[in-house]
Structure formats: C-alpha cells, structure tokens
Chain A
Amino acid sequence: MSGGNTFLGMPAFPRNAAAAVQDSQLRFNLRKATHTIRGKRASVVAELPDWAELRAAGKEIKDHTLRNLERYLLQMEEAVTAAGGHVHWAADAEEANRIVADLVKATGETSVVKVKSMATQEIGLNEALQAEGITAYETDLAELIVQLGDDWPSHILVPAIHRNRSEIREIFHDKMADWGRAAPEGLTDEPRALADAARLHLRERFLSTKVAVSGANFMIAETGTLVVLESEGNGRMCLTLPETLISVVGIEKLLPSWRDLEVFLQLLPRSSTGERMNPYTSTWTGAVEGQEFHLVLLDNGRTQVLADEVGRQALRCIRCSACLNVCPVYERAGGHAYGSVYPGPIGAILTPQLRGMGSALDASLPYASTLCGACFEACPVAIDIPEVLVHLRGKARHPRTERLGMRAAGWVFNRPARLARAQRLGGRFRRFVPGRLPGPLSAWTDTRDIPDIPAESFRDWWNRTDGGAR
C-alpha cells in the first residue's frame, strides 16, 4: 500500500504527472484543497509580527542540532533510558522493521494501532509487519481513508487530499466491514456522518488493541521527551491506551531543549493546517505505569544527507507541507507522481537524497520544479528548496542528446563571435523554421507557438547603427 517498496519501477515524474494532469476530478480536488489551506496559512502567518524572526530561529535551532547531532542523540538515549524506556538504533528501513516486528511479536499480539507517521511510511512498516502476520491499523482519519481504499497517500498532512466526500463515503461503505466495524446503514457524504462512522469504527480498535506504533514531530534531548502534534485526538488514544508503545523517529527530529519547542509550536501549526494552535499536543517521557515504551532511532540515509553541505538543509524539514500547498507543480501533478511518501517540493529534494538518483524516477525529481521559489518563501525553517534542486541537478545523470545540446550551447556562448554567427544563421533561415519543431523540442510547439526570429540580432543592430546613433 503505502510502503517504500511499492514505488519501485514507477516511471519518471514527467510521465506520472502528464497522466495525473488529465484527471479533471483530481485537479479540481487538489486545487480546491491546496488553495484553501494556502489562504488560511497566509492569514495566520501574517498575524505574527515576528514571523521572520521565528523562521530564522527555527532554522538556527535545527542547524545547531544537526551540527551536534551525535551529542544530542546520545543525550536523548540516556534520558529515555533513565525514564524507563528502551532505545533501539536502526541504520536502515530493514533494521527498523525487524526491530518493530520483533518487539510486537514479543508481546504475543498480532495487531497494532498506528498514529499518523511519515517515518513508518518511509520504511514501509505496515507491509513489513503484514509479512510477519501482524496487521497495522491506521487511526488518523485521512490515513484510514487511504488504507481502506487500498491507496497511497498523496500529501504529507492530508494524505487523502486527492479524494472528495463522495469518494470517501464509497470507500467507507464498501470497505469498513473488511477491516472491523462496518459503516452504518444509509451513510451519507456529510462530513459529520463520515466522521461519526470513522469514530465508531476506530473506537472499537482503540479499546481492543494492546500495541501502538507512532512517530514523533519532535524529540527533546534534554529530557528524553517525545512530542506529537495532531488535530483529531486519535493519536492521543493510541499513545495512552495500549500496553506497549513503539515510536519510530528519524534522527533529525531532535531539539536540544524544551525552550526550543516554543519556536516550533508556533511555526508548525500555522504552516501546516493554517491554525494558530493544533487541537492536541501530546508529550511523553520514557515509560509510564502500565505501559512499556520503545524508541527506534532511524537513520535510513539521513547521515548521508548530512554529509552534503548544500543538501543537508533538507533535514531541517518539520513536515508541515506548506511547500506542497503553495507549489504550482504539486497542485497539478498530485502527490502520487512523485513516487514517494514525500511528495511536492520537499519530496523532490529529500527522496533523491535518501534513495539516491539511481532510478529514472528519482533522477527526474530534481527537475519536477520551475524554480519559482514559492516553496522557499513558505518554508517555516527557510529551506532553500530551489538551491538544493539546482544542486541535485548538477549531480544527476543527463540524457545524451541534452548533454550534446548543452555542450554545443556552451561552445557558442563562450565566444561572442560564435554567438553572432549563430544568430545570423538563424536570421537567414528564419522563414524555414517550422511551426512544429521536431524531437524533444516538439514538447514546446505542442501547445505553444515559437516567437518569430528577427532578421537582425540586437548586437548586429548595435554594430550596424553604432548603438542607434546612425
């Protein structure tokens, strides 16, 4: 379903996007949803006179933590252990999945409830557990829709953003019974009715499941505390009811101290849901009476990203998805085209760094942007996404024809006389330039005319007239 492996063998971004853009229902849903959140975000951000300072502080705190990551990770481990929790280190997805599966098996249970978490999607935990005979139940409303629909998430924060109300009603009506309590008779597509159906379905699950798996938005090294921000309260049910709690958290989620959290509790809700404050913020430190706690610290390519001086800023990301909501490419291509649990602008710089650029899809992601800069402007931790995109393009493999074309253009631009000769050649044959260009350039003339080529370039005009004096 939503695992890391299911994206294997997907075509490159341009093809996925070209297919998605044809789907008018999808385009309508996405446009409506992204523009609504975009507007809300803009107005709550504008309310804060010190937003620029908060943003700078968020960037600085994250950079400081990343520079001293080892120290803070060890501090985190020590604090969690002292509070009765168990800390596990996972170098990659396989190791993390193994650890979680073994921990669940040790409890004797065959099902877990899940708090919405990007890290566990990144490693394909649900599928890995399935292979061991353990069923993972998503409890976030949107993740539930995705899971029941046997679908992939298409947005970080609103995974079912590509679905509208009537589609959701259909999924609930058809699929809920297969996973537990069936949808009530006569279910309508009223938001209230849908939420009630989900509530009844999930409530049974919360009360009967003994193991929960979560991620975390932040980890505080000073005290060993984990922090989850959410809107629905489902997360809190998962975090508090079960007898065993396993949290899988990327190593870059650390903050040094409680004081630092103040900055992020302002940056994150306003950037993500466009709310001044999210409804539920849960924090926990180690084990509590009646609950065993395990923390799995996940690397899975992150230390490799950290080694790249330009690319490492992607690790500042707090997964708010503001960059998705303002991105004109995401708005039209949808999340699935990016072939990763991280779609949109952040996905375009994170996925190729975490997975490498070996596949056609991953190598095409840095090009899934016009470099318009809307993402950078919206990012609450000032990740210069266009800078990283350009940096990754410099490391990508290029098609042969493009390489030759670029080399030829470079050769022409290296000498003004060559440029002038090329321009004159173009001017002489301008009448013969076809309205539809051949080869890769047909991509231009399929929907656009090419401009008329002038008989005389600017430089020839300047030379002939002495800058207009003659």
Chain B
Amino acid sequence: MRVALFITCVNDTLFPGTGQAVVTLLRRLGCDVEFPRAQTCCGQMHVNTGYPEEGTRLARHFVDVFAGYDAVVAPSGSCAAMVREQYPRLARATTPSFAGEVAEMVPKVHDLSEFLVDVLGVTDVGAYFPHRVTYHPTCHSLRGLHLGDRPTRLLEQVRGLELVPLPGAEECCGFGGTFAVKNPAISAAMCGDKVRNVTSTGAEVLCAADNSCLMHIGGTLTRQRAGVRIMHLAEILATTEATR
C-alpha cells in the first residue's frame, strides 16, 4: 500500500513536530509513508473565506499530487473534511472529468485516527504517556468526518495516560479560520468558555486532532498563563517509553 502524508500547510509551516510524529508513528506500525514534495495547501482558507476560484485551483493541485497513492493521511480533521465535503461541490462547478477524479480521491483521504482505526485496524499503537490529558474533539472531526470515539479509543490504550472528560467538549472553540479575525469578540468569548472548561478538568495536556484549533485555544491558554500544554494526537501516540 502506497501511503502519502498530507502534512497540511499549517502543520508544515508552524507545527513540523506533528508531521514528524506522524512519520514516526506510521513507521512503527509498519507503514512506509511517503511525502509528495509538490503538495501545498488544500484550499480550505480560500474556499471558506469566499474565494472559490483560488480554492478550486488548489483542489486541482491536490488531486494531481496525490492521485497515485492508495491512501492519503492528514493529521488534521478539518483539512480531511475539506477534501471529503467540499471538493465534490467545487468539482461540480468545473468539468465532469475533474469531478470524476475527485470522486476517486475522496475515499482515499483519511484523518490520522481514521487511518489508524479503520484502515490499519489498531487502537493500541504502543504509546506511553504518563500524564493527565483531556481531549477536544474539534467540530470538523466530530460533525464533518464523524470520527466519533476513534481518537479517544486510541488515547485510552496509551499506557500511563489518564483521560479526563472535557465538559462541553462538543462545543466549538471559536476558531473558524478567518472567523477568528473577522469576529474577534465572539471568537474570544467562545475560546474563553472553552479554556474555562479545559482548566476545570485539571489536565496537564489538552489534546486534539487539529493544530489550527489547538493554536487558537493554546494561544489563549498561554496568554492566560493557564499552565496547560497543547499537544496534537499524533505527538502523544508517537511517544513511547524509549523516546521519552
């Protein structure tokens, strides 16, 4: 099976450690993961801010880059949801041939936890992380990809990890891409409530499968000196007794 890593532009630029964790983890599970170097961005920011032409151009690029692989793994629920939900809509406005390429692409694109649980069929990835962790499911993972309890099933198998439930977990953190700067007051109010819920758990680490949301919540956590670290799911799953 040819597995490609779709790192996503945010992880590539700001969170390379998440990408390295995915590589470590997948190799440990026996996957030979490739990184197609021509990849850039899925186009979500453009499409969701109201620039469908640019978004479609990036969608075409994405499909060109990843067409030859059996599986594409992205450590981001919202970018995977972008491909799955929005590419078919964008393609409908173009040509039938592109729509066909997209239809072929869509089932091959997976969020990390989906790939681990559904494709590789593992929930115990051999990780060790002796900390108190709470998990924020993120909207696009929850309501876009319907990941359900896949991420928490993975976390529950991590040795040493104490998973504490997050009150109001299903509520949006208020990031919403450019929403965070277009509607800063509401975005901050939502994040304030999210942070209050996070700190109420007494967790040392806030985990999610999307660094965009984590960047937003984490930026508020550090500004408030809340003493809670953020970590992408991949980084926790990649940690073992040997690597700590």
| Other 16 A-B pairs with CB < 8 A, given A394-B51, A448-B219 | A14-B183, A14-B185, A17-B185, A367-B183, A374-B143, A390-B48, A410-B54, A413-B41, A413-B43, A413-B61, A416-B40, A443-B180, A451-B15, A453-B14, A461-B20, A468-B20
Q: List 28 A-B contacts (CB under 8 A).
A: A328-B171, A329-B186, A367-B182, A370-B172, A373-B144, A394-B50, A394-B52, A396-B50, A398-B50, A402-B49, A406-B46, A406-B49, A409-B45, A410-B54, A410-B58, A419-B13, A419-B40, A423-B12, A426-B13, A443-B181, A443-B182, A444-B181, A447-B188, A447-B223, A454-B15, A459-B12, A462-B19, A468-B24
Cα separation A367 to B183 with both chains bound (whole Å) = 8
Q: Contact check, B46 vs A409: say whether CB atoms are below 8 A apart.
A: yes
Of the residues A333, A414, A443, A459, contact of B37 by C-beta under 8 Å: A459
Q: Give per-residue flags for A443-470: 1 if the beta carbon is below 8 A from chain B beta carbons, else 0.
A: 1101111110110111101110001100
Closest Cβ of chain A to B60, distance in Å, is: 10
- Establish whether residues B172 and A372, one from each chain, have CB atoms under 8 Å apart when the complex forms: yes
A27 to B186, CA, bound (A): 11
Note all chain B residues with C-beta closer than 8 A to A395: 50
Residue of B with least CB distance to A31 = B193
B237 to chain A, nearest CB (A): 16
Determine the main DSSP class of A at the interface with B. Answer: helix
Residues of B within 8 A of A415 (CB): 40
- Contacts A370-B176, A416-B40, A451-B219; A390 near B183 (Cβ below 8 A): no
Using known A-B contacts A21-B189, A370-B139, A468-B23, determine if residue A458 contacts B51 with beta carbons closer than 8 Å.
Answer: no
Q: Are A449 and B219 in contact (CB under 8 A)?
A: yes
Per the bound structure, the CA–CA distance linking A21 and B193 in Å amounts to: 13
Which has the most chain A C-beta neighbours within 10 Å: B7, B43, B54, B216? B54
Given the complex, which residues of B lie within 8 Å of A458, measured CB to CB?
7, 11-13, 15-16, 19-20
Cβ-based interface call for B86 (8 A): yes
Q: Which of A386-436 contact B (CB under 8 A)?
A: 387, 390, 393-396, 398, 402, 406-407, 409-410, 412-416, 419, 423, 426
| Chain B residues closer than 8 Å to A413, beta-carbon distance | 9, 40-41, 43, 58, 61
Tell me if B218 counts as interface (CB < 8 A to partner A): yes
Quote the shortest CB–CB distance from A419 to chain B (angstroms): 5
> Is B215 on the interface with A (CB-CB < 8 A)?
yes
B positions within 8 Å CB-CB of A: 7, 9, 11-17, 19-20, 23-24, 33-35, 37-41, 43, 45-52, 54, 57-58, 61, 86, 89, 139-140, 142-144, 170-172, 174-191, 215-216, 218-220, 222-223
**Which single residue of chain A is at the shortest CB-CB distance from B217?**
A448
Known: A13-B183, A402-B49, A468-B23. A448 touches B139 (CB 8 A): no
A441 within 8 A of B: yes
Assembly CA distance A118 to B42 (angstroms): 41
Query: Is B48 touching A393 in the complex (CB atoms < 8 A)?
Result: yes
Report chain B residues within 8 Å CB of A372: 139, 143, 172, 176
Instruction: Give the most central of B37, B171, B184: most A CB within 10 Å.
Output: B184
Q: Contact between A374 and B172 (Cβ–Cβ < 8 Å)? A: yes
Q: Are A448 and B35 in contact (CB under 8 A)?
A: no
Q: Are B184 and A444 in touch, CB under 8 angstroms?
A: yes
Q: Which residue of B lies closest to A337 (CB)?
A: B186
A18 within 8 A of B: yes
The reply to whether A456 and B219 form a contact with Cβ atoms under 8 Å apart is no
Complex Cα distance, B14 from A448, in Å, reads: 16
- Cα separation A343 to B46 with both chains bound (whole Å): 26
Inter-chain contact A457/B13, CB cutoff 8 Å = yes
Residues of chain A contacted by B191 (CB below 8 angstroms): 447-448
User: B185 to A410, Cβ gap below 8 A?
Assistant: no
Distance A419 CA – B51 CA, assembled complex (angstroms): 19
A312 close to B (CB within 8 Å): no
Cα A368 to Cα B178 in complex, Å, equals: 11
Least Cβ–Cβ distance between B85 and chain A, in angstroms: 8
* Shortest beta-carbon distance from A399 to chain B in Å: 10
User: Contact check: which of A371, A448, A453, A454 meets B223 at CB < 8 Å?
Assistant: A448
| Contacting residue for A328 out of B43, B172, B184, CB 8 A | B172
Q: Is the CB of B48 within 8 A of A414?
A: no
Contacts of A443 in B (CB 8 A): 180-182, 184
Residue A376 at the B interface, CB < 8 A?
yes
**Cβ-based interface call for A292 (8 A):** no
Which residues of chain A are near B179, meaning CB under 8 Å? 367, 369-371
- Please name the residue on chain B nearest to A367 by beta carbon: B182
CA distance A238 to B25 in the complex (A): 68
Q: Looking at the assembled complex, report how far the CB atom of B35 sits from the nearest CB atom of chain A, in whole angstroms.
A: 5
Choose one: B16, B41, B186, B218; the contact of A454 (CB below 8 Å).
Answer: B16
5 smallest CB-CB distances across A and B, nearest first, come from A370-B176, A448-B219, A393-B50, A18-B185, A372-B172
Is A78 in the interface zone, CB < 8 Å from B?
no
Q: Which residues of A contact B183 (CB under 8 A)?
A: 13-14, 17, 329, 367-368
Closest residue of A by beta carbon distance from B38? A416
* Residues of chain A with a CB closer than 8 A to B180's CB: 443-444, 448
Quick one: which of A356-371 are within 8 Å of B by CB?
A: 366-371
| A222 within 8 A of partner (CB) | no
What residues of A have a CB within 8 angstroms of the CB of B140 in the complex? 373
A398 to chain B, nearest CB (A): 6
User: Does A440 sit within 8 A of B, measured CB to CB?
Assistant: yes
CB-CB under 8 A from A412, the residues of chain B are 40
**A370 x B215 contact (CB < 8 A):** no
Residues of A close to B35: CB separation below 8 A = 459, 462, 467
Let me know if B9 and A419 touch, CB within 8 A: yes
Decide: A454 near B46, CB < 8 A? Known: A21-B186, A372-B176.
no
Chain A residues within 8 Å of B143, by CB? 372-374, 376-377
The answer to whether A449 touches B223, judged by C-beta atoms less than 8 angstroms apart, is yes
Which B residues are CB-close (under 8 A) to A396?
Answer: 50
Which residues of A in the span 201-234 have a Cβ within 8 Å of any Cβ on B? none
Q: Which A residues are CB-close (under 8 A) to B11?
A: 458
Q: Return chain A residues, CB-CB under 8 Å to B219.
A: 444, 448-451
- Residues on the A chain within 8 Å of B177, using CB: 370-371
A375 CB to nearest chain B CB (Å): 10
B185 contacts across to A, CB distance below 8 A: 14, 17-18, 21
- The answer, yes or no, to whether A336 is at the interface (CB within 8 Å) is no
A332 within 8 A of B: yes
Q: How far is the CB of B116 from chain A (nearest CB, A)?
A: 19
Q: A467 to B3, alpha carbons, bound, how many Å?
A: 14
